Structure 1
Amino acid sequence: MADSTPQGAGEGPSSSAAQSAAQQPDLTAHVERLEARAKALERLLVGKVEWAQMETAQHLQLLEAAVDNLEGTAKEAAARHGELLLAAKWLALELRGLDLLADHVKAVDALSKKLEAQVQEPFKAQQSCSSYETEMADDGFQDAVAAAVAPPLAEVAHDALASQQNTEAAQVQIVSLQPVAIVDHVCVLDEEALRSLVPDELGGSHRVELAEVQRTLTSVGEYFSKAGGSAANTTRGLAGLGVHTKLLGCRGFDEWGTLFSSSMKRAGVDVSGVLVKQGPTGRSCILSCGGQRTMRTCLSGCPRINPDELRADDFRGVPWVFLSAYCLYTPNLLERALDLAGAAGCSVAMDLASFEVVRSFHPAITALLERGAIDVCFCNEDEAAEVAGGAGSCPEAAIEYLAQHCKRLAVVTLGEKGCLIKERGSEEVIGLPACSGVKVTDTTGAGDLFAAGFLYGLLKGYPARRCGELGCIAGGAVVQTLGAEMGRDQWSWLHQRMHGRLAGEVVRDSAAAVQREMLACYSLIERKGRGVVYYGSARLKQDSPHWDRAVQLGRDVAQLLGCTTWSGGGPGMMEAATIGALSVGKPVGGIRIQREAGTTVRTASYLPADSQVFCRYLSSRKVALVDSGVRMKESDHTAYLFLPGGLGTMDELFEILTLVQLKKLGSSHPVPVVLIDYDGFYSGLLQFLRACDANGTVGAPELRDLIVAQDNAGVLQVLRSYYNLPSDGASHQPAASVYRASAYIRLGGDEQAAGSAGL
């Protein structure tokens, strides 16, 4: 007991210190564990947020695809509704015919009863028969029958013709093959962000797994998704140019496959040849930095179209087939496509895809070329060098090799330096510059859209140089936006470069159906060339006193100016002027409407088949006719000539005068507008313009561009004076009074004084 107290007093302090020292490491370790756990929770939370962002993006894409599908369903329902309406019209016509037949039977039955009652009175019976025959032959009765039958007949005939035109327009012009459907995820990064995502060499395309695609998408932030792939991009570009295209291939049974099909369908591509199989759709991250792209693509487990799934029907009757060397990754697919295309008589265009593809399949590609299986070959300078013998080959040497083995021609694109074109058998290598004034945003799809523009030119029968120009324009348009799908502004820019400023404005502001018609019109105008546009009544036929003069005017003006004679392609004054131009072997063109005013059905055509376009929409026709007379170069000889006409002619006259007044005609140089006042036909109009001036609604100076000529000699005098053309030495009939409408109004309607004032 005595020893215990001192011992306890001595050991207490040292024992507490020891315990504290022992507990200190435990607390530190505990804090470290808590911090580690907090960091782990933080990483987990960040991962969940990133995953949620990706899931949200995917659901948004799925929602977009669902909306597209609903739009497609609505369009199909609308088309079915139209078919039902047409069937209803046919049924109504049949019922109307049955009603008329029943009335006719009743009339015959009534006459039979009369004849039976009067059989004893031959004279009366004969008189009764004659009366009935007279009644049946009466113009009023026949007119009544015609009035009952003609409207539904005309309407059904119009619908049938429109349906036939739509069917003809729906004939596939180009079939493209893309074995695997791909969805592009496009985003813009600065170089620092790009290098943090891509540790290896920037640029080019590399295959990755799905996890890498997902990791990249969660890191880049904002991106957008569109249908992609080389052949799909070219096909979509052709559809945008108004070409009926069909895509063959395969997509996965997932939301990305739905997006691919709906995106292509919305662009106007026929995707009935795109198969749907179990598995994922291909996906590619396109990282754009400074206009250049780095691609990371996942095709793991993606379903493909097999060679035996290509059908001969897909190629039959199709002028062109477009193939990509990417098809070589699917064994025997390219050979099968070439066999079917050859059997169907199709021309074949092939893109060499990438220099990696050429390097991997060099023997197969050279074998295809050297056996003459390819009509047109597209490649960039790296691919050309690889196929022609390695990196040491220059583009000029490479194109010599390619042109020697292609059946028609070879094209080498040079990026910002333009392109080279060489036709087989020609000594000339055509070198074209790239489009100027282009701000490059992203080069994705530049080569694909170049091919689309070039093929569009081939389909239209343009020479190789013009095809190359169109390819450069299309490639220059797509690099101004992100990804390979152009928006309205890019299409407007493209058509402005192709056809002029007016075309760009029309395409930007037009609905899709009108836009397709406009593209067909502008294509015809480009092929035939701008010239003199005639306006006039469709009702003034060969019995009109103006007919012969209009024929003579068309002949004389065509010989004087040598340009294309344009009109609405309808009957009457338009036909007369066109016949005159045709009689002296000059080119003609017509922008026709389904049914002219004053007619009940589409009139027969006097125009060559390749010199006319039909429009369902009057707006398309009016704009195209205006553009047919636009004067793009000072050396162009164009004019707007107004023969006697009615409301439609007046509408077009005032529209042109308004466009001139507002400087919206789209012409780089002034164009003569001539009112042809045969026998004072337009005297009432001129008096109306005087009244407008007197009331302050139109000022005389605003009508300075309207020239009045009272006969053909006056029209020729105006054109010679306007274009400073020498006389041909023949004795010309003196012109009647020729004057400006502004002078006529200013001088109180005195034609002689206005004529003396000069032009």
Structure 2
Amino acid sequence: MNRDTDVLVLGGAGVDTIVHVPQLPLPYADSYMIHDGIRTRAGQTGDFMSLGLAALGLLTHHLDFLGDDPEGDLVRALHRERGITLTAIPQPAGTKRAVNLVGPDGRRLSLYDSSRGHPDDRFPEAMVRELAGRSRHAHVSITQPCVHALPVLRETGVTISTDLHDWDGENPYHEPFALAADVVFVSAARLADPERTLRRIAERGRARAVVATAGAKGAYLLAGGELTPVPPAAPPAPVVDSNGAGDAFAAAFLFGFLRGEPPRRCARYGALAGAHACTVPSTRADAIDRETLLARAAAEPEEEAAPVTGP
């Protein structure tokens, strides 16, 4: 079968309602006046991955459940406007949604509505097999029901990536994703020992590269048995919101991965894209494009970093 799609993105479609708050954590009060407005826009992790990949020139196909509701219409419109192919399976429970509280420093607290789905939801196996067979790579969100698609994806021979987000390194829900993927991303925010977690993923699974993102501290890359610190990139403008930075990092890393770049160069692309995302207000869904990413990578060549030999 002709692999005419670069990346198949599974899951993670939905809408976020953005609320800028005076501080996080938010002290209890009867009410707050939100002078910046409260806005709802399309864009959860799968949407941001699709946008990031497409902006970098990768042909992207997004597959997920969507409701026949105003929120689903926002998601469909976003994909239509950005020229991203979307296959939406009807979801009677409605489109996934969340509320993001964003502090003045750009940090966020997300409240996810977990009622927009059913435990027995499944992507049609024949559909997954057909779409994966036409794709060079599949990025799998950890939203339900993506875990059930992993065996089918493996059978097609497509390479797989996943983002475990703020995994604590112990919750068993995340393990099937971590162990089935060739490239694994995870936030270091809740990891007591990031190196231990990354090495466990590599030893127990099939990952060629495992990355723990650490916000303004950069990231850690485990590849070829070596743990290497990835320096943070300087944001090109003031930081306003960290929402979508992890997805931007992952999309740019995969851009390099699919070009056959070495892991350190892929991670450098990720750092640059993540820094760019932090300068984009959460009410917008914009991503760094290929020309800008490559120009910044050329202007800020990758620093030589010694492997980490201990905690």
Give the equivalent residue in structure 2 for 1:401: 200
Is it true that 1:382 corresponds to 2:189 in the alignment? yes
Measured in 1, the distance between the counterparts of 2:221 and 2:16 equals 30
1:431 aligned partner, one-letter code: P
Matches within 5 A, 1:620-635: none
SS in structure 1 opposite 2:233? coil
Give the equivalent residue in structure 1 for 2:220: 420
Query: Does structure 2 conserve the Cα–Cα contact (< 8 Å) formed by 1:185 and 1:223?
Result: yes
Query: Does structure 2 conserve the Cα–Cα contact (< 8 Å) formed by 1:227 and 1:259?
Result: yes
Give the equivalent residue in structure 2 for 1:481: 280
Give the equivalent residue in structure 2 for 1:240: 55
Report the Cα offset of residue 414 of structure 1. Answer: 1.4
Of 112, 137, 143 in structure 2, the residue corresponding to residue 320 of structure 1 is 137
Is it true that 1:443 corresponds to 2:234 in the alignment? no
Structure with the larger RCO, 1 or 2 (CA within 8 Å, 6+ apart): 2
SS in structure 2 opposite 1:449? helix
Query: Does structure 2 conserve the Cα–Cα contact (< 8 Å) formed by 1:325 and 1:352?
Result: yes
SS in structure 2 opposite 1:325? coil
Of 331, 334, 339 in structure 1, the residue corresponding to residue 147 of structure 2 is 334
- Cα 1:382–1:258 change in 2 (3 A) is same
Report the Cα offset of residue 304 of structure 1. Answer: 8.5
1:300 aligned partner, one-letter code: S
Report the Cα offset of residue 226 of structure 1. Answer: 2.3
- Cα 1:453–1:268 change in 2 (3 A) is same
SS in structure 2 opposite 1:397? helix
Once the two structures are superposed, what CA deviation does each residue of 1:592-650 show, in whole Å capped at 9, x if it has no partner? Answer: xxxxxxxxxxxxxxxxxxxxxxxxxxxxxxxxxxxxxxxxxxxxxxxxxxxxxxxxxxx
Give the equivalent residue in structure 1 for 2:258: 459
SS in structure 1 opposite 2:281? coil
- Cα 1:399–1:193 change in 2 (3 A) is closer
Query: Does structure 2 conserve the Cα–Cα contact (< 8 Å) formed by 1:441 and 1:480?
Result: yes
Measured in 2, the distance between the counterparts of 1:305 and 1:233 equals 26
Give the equivalent residue in structure 2 for 1:429: 227
Give the equivalent residue in structure 1 for 2:16: 184
Matches within 5 A, 1:620-699: none
Query: Does structure 1 conserve the Cα–Cα contact (< 8 Å) formed by 2:212 and 2:219?
Result: yes
Is it true that 1:278 corresponds to 2:92 in the alignment? yes
User: Which protein is bigger by CA-based radius of gyration?
Assistant: 1
Measured in 2, the distance between the counterparts of 1:193 and 1:219 equals 16
Measured in 2, the distance between the counterparts of 1:177 and 1:277 equals 15
Is it true that 1:351 corresponds to 2:163 in the alignment? yes
- Cα 1:348–1:437 change in 2 (3 A) is closer
TM-score w.r.t. structure 2 length? 0.82
Query: Does structure 2 conserve the Cα–Cα contact (< 8 Å) formed by 1:457 and 1:467?
Result: yes
TM-score w.r.t. structure 1 length? 0.36
SS in structure 1 opposite 2:5? coil
Measured in 1, the distance between the counterparts of 2:261 and 2:76 equals 32
TM-align CA RMSD: 3.2
Query: Does structure 1 conserve the Cα–Cα contact (< 8 Å) formed by 2:233 and 2:275?
Result: yes
Give the equivalent residue in structure 2 for 1:175: 8
Query: Does structure 1 conserve the Cα–Cα contact (< 8 Å) formed by 2:106 and 2:241?
Result: yes
Measured in 1, the distance between the counterparts of 2:34 and 2:94 equals 22
SS in structure 1 opposite 2:75? helix
Give the equivalent residue in structure 1 for 2:27: 195
Matches within 5 A, 1:556-571: none
2:139 aligned partner, one-letter code: F
- Cα 1:379–1:246 change in 2 (3 A) is same
Query: Does structure 2 conserve the Cα–Cα contact (< 8 Å) formed by 1:287 and 1:293?
Result: yes
Measured in 2, the distance between the counterparts of 1:291 and 1:245 equals 29
Structure 2 gaps, min length 5: 302-311
SS in structure 1 opposite 2:143? helix
Give the equivalent residue in structure 1 for 2:309: none
SS in structure 2 opposite 1:379? strand
Measured in 2, the distance between the counterparts of 1:263 and 1:278 equals 21
Query: Does structure 2 conserve the Cα–Cα contact (< 8 Å) formed by 1:445 and 1:484?
Result: no
SS in structure 2 opposite 1:175? strand
Structure 1 gaps, min length 5: 1-167, 200-214, 386-390, 502-525, 527-759
Query: Does structure 1 conserve the Cα–Cα contact (< 8 Å) formed by 2:213 and 2:219?
Result: yes
Matches within 5 A, 1:455-604: 455-483=254-282, 485-487=284-286, 491=289, 494=293, 496-498=295-297
Structure with greater helix share of residues: 1
Measured in 2, the distance between the counterparts of 1:349 and 1:411 equals 11
